[in-house]
Structure 1
Amino acid sequence: MKQKVRTAVFPVGGLGTRFLPATKAMPKEMLPVVDKPLIQYALEEAQAAGIDHFVFVTGRGKAVIEDHFDHSYELEDTLRRRGKDSALQQVDAFVPPPGRVAYTRQMQPLGLGHAVACAAHLVGREPFAVLLADDLILSRTPCLKQMVEAYEEVGGNIVAAMEVAQEETSRYGIITAEGGRAAAAPGELVGVKALVEKPAPEEAPSRLAVIGRYILQPEVFDRLSQTQAGAGGEIQLTDAMAAMIGETPFHALAFEGERFDCGDKAGFLCANLAFGLARSDIGPSVAEFLGQRLHALYGSKYGR
């Protein structure tokens, strides 16, 4: 019987230098998409997948994340007294129950693999999920829920994957898929034969890229403790996962949904537009603005 995935790890120790000066005093994970910070989207995705324990791997200057996932008694009392029930629900609904959230520090910026390893003592010897808040996914079914459903069928390690352009492979961990496949259809589960971190386009074994959602077996912690610095001089999670291939079932899920790279300024702006357009309360206004602006800039090509 497969162990239930009940713990999620959120590596949130990065400096967010690509968003300076906005991130000088505010963690990049707290940057808002419409009206929620990135890290809240990630936690709510984990909750929707049945996760009930949450581990944040933080760094200096990240205390505001801890405050966000706690009760603000003064704010809640003010909203209650003023009869602002809807606003009260918004600030209270996502806060996990007491004892379900833990924080640990990544004291050196040694890479994603190192950040995940910092959570080993809090995860224990059971399967767990990893979510990178920078990767925001707009989908009918939350991405991690899709992965948990796949995990219940096949077990082992599962990564979320999407097809990227050949020239973009040097930005991702790239999969060598069973059967030598270069791509996969949305919703398809593909066996993984090998992983390589950020290969040059001419050396990439496929166009299937790993993005920031993982379900991992606890043995990955053993591998991380033995992993040497890889690409970029950092301890790469991809290298530790690759070392487990052949020892445990390993699959990639070509998830249904659209992924936005919110570690990139253009990607972050596109995410705000896409999530805004998807909202019934503000979507029509956003669409009207975009239509007017595009028409003003580019003329009748975009109509009205």
Structure 2
Amino acid sequence: MSSRKPIRKAVFPVAGLGTRFLPATKAIPKELLPIVDRPLIQYAVDEAREAGIEQMIFVTGRGKTAIVEHFDIAYELETTMEERGKSLAILEPTRFTPGDIITVRQQVPLGLGHAIWCARAIVGDEPFAILLPDELMVAQAGGGTGCMKQMVDAYEDVGGNLISVLEVPRDAVSSYGVIDPGAQISDTLTEVAGLVEKPPVDEAPSNKIVSGRYILQPEVMRTLESQGKGAGGEIQLTDAMAKMIGTQPFHAVTFAGRRFDCGSKVGFVEATLALALEREDMGEDVRAMARRLLAQGG
């Protein structure tokens, strides 16, 4: 039996303004924008729960209280549904035991690394997960496990720090953070020798890009504490992780599944269409609609 501390806590950086989606995000957090009928944050939380994570830590900003309300009990709604004989099962994923949802404010937008550091008192001396809700990670169809579950399974084998990666066409690497790979441990597990942010195509050490899921040891908080600003004048998580390589085990898990970049409008529409097509209750209708629209546009 492993003596490693289990991954019980997950940090969700949700303080961003969502300016790419204005005016939709003027009054609604971008994390609550729905992919079909579930908000982005719900997909990320469900992924964390599948991995056995118990406590969700939301790093929020002003105007983000609706995220917490989404995971609260809506008495008026539930009472009305019960009176009308409707099942409450659809709301079950939004329910949490008191104390399992914690929020902390990122009062100044100083980057992803700063957002994670804001959760230091709650994380304490435990390893923890990070999930970026903009990165929608979808398990393989037919019973595949989610990205964080794949990472927790790998953590139980190798410990230390882990990041999720995906392979992209070589000519696309300059848009992402890329790993410098070390030894190949298995088909899906690779040692990380270094991290390079948005390298030129001809200088990229691999085509494996960092994809918004992390398991980190608590020492990263002390690194962030003393770290100065990096690219874009922000405190970068990538810089802190790079300093930990060589001092602790560091591996990349190649995710067996699909990633949708829901931080972009095109990626958001792609995710909505892809997931709608897979739904038994609407897939055929959506497919017919897509064919009709494409024919009209042609």
TM class, shorter-chain normalised? Answer: over 0.9
Q: State the AA in 2 paired with 1:150.
A: A
Contact 2:72 2:94 in 1 (8 A): no
Counterpart selection for 1:24 from 23, 26, 29: 26
What CA deviation, in whole Å up to 9, does each residue of 1:230-265 have, x standing for no partner? Answer: 111111111101100111110001111110000000
Q: How large is the RMSD of aligned CA atoms in angstroms?
A: 1.6
What CA deviation, in whole Å up to 9, does each residue of 1:155-203 have, x standing for no partner? Answer: 1101000122334333322100015x8xx99x61111000122223333
Q: State the AA in 1 paired with 2:64.
A: K
Aligned residue pairs, count: 292
Contact 1:198 1:231 in 2 (8 A): no
Give the equivalent residue in structure 1 for 2:133.
Answer: 133
In structure 1, distance between residues paired with 2:93 and 2:159: 31
> SS of the counterpart of 1:18?
helix
> SS of the counterpart of 1:93?
helix
Identical aligned residues as a percent = 54
Give the equivalent residue in structure 1 for 2:258.
Answer: 258
> SS of the counterpart of 1:178?
strand
Contact 1:71 1:92 in 2 (8 A): no
Q: TM-score, normalised by structure 2?
A: 0.94
Q: State the AA in 2 paired with 1:297.
A: G
In structure 2, distance between residues paired with 1:240 and 1:272: 34
Quote how far apart the aligned CAs of 1:204 are.
2.1
Give the equivalent residue in structure 2 for 1:110.
Answer: 110
- The 5 Å alignment of 1:50-69 reads 50-69=52-71
- The 5 Å alignment of 1:136-147 reads 136-139=136-139, 140-147=144-151
> SS of the counterpart of 2:222?
helix
In structure 2, distance between residues paired with 1:96 and 1:252: 31
Counterpart selection for 1:171 from 171, 175, 181: 175
Q: State the AA in 2 paired with 1:164.
A: V
Contact 2:180 2:193 in 1 (8 A): yes
- The 5 Å alignment of 1:1-304 reads 1-85=3-87, 88-139=88-139, 140-178=144-182, 188-298=188-298
> SS of the counterpart of 2:210?
strand
Moved more, 198-207 or 156-165: 198-207
Change (3 A) 1:93 1:162: closer
Quote how far apart the aligned CAs of 1:137 are.
1.4
In structure 2, distance between residues paired with 1:52 and 1:284: 36
Quote how far apart the aligned CAs of 1:294 are.
2.5
> SS of the counterpart of 2:269?
helix
> SS of the counterpart of 1:41?
helix
Q: TM-score, normalised by structure 1?
A: 0.92
In structure 2, distance between residues paired with 1:167 and 1:18: 25
Q: State the AA in 2 paired with 1:10.
A: F
What CA deviation, in whole Å up to 9, does each residue of 1:108-150 have, x standing for no partner? Answer: 1111000000001011101100000000012121110011011
Moved more, 131-140 or 5-14: 131-140
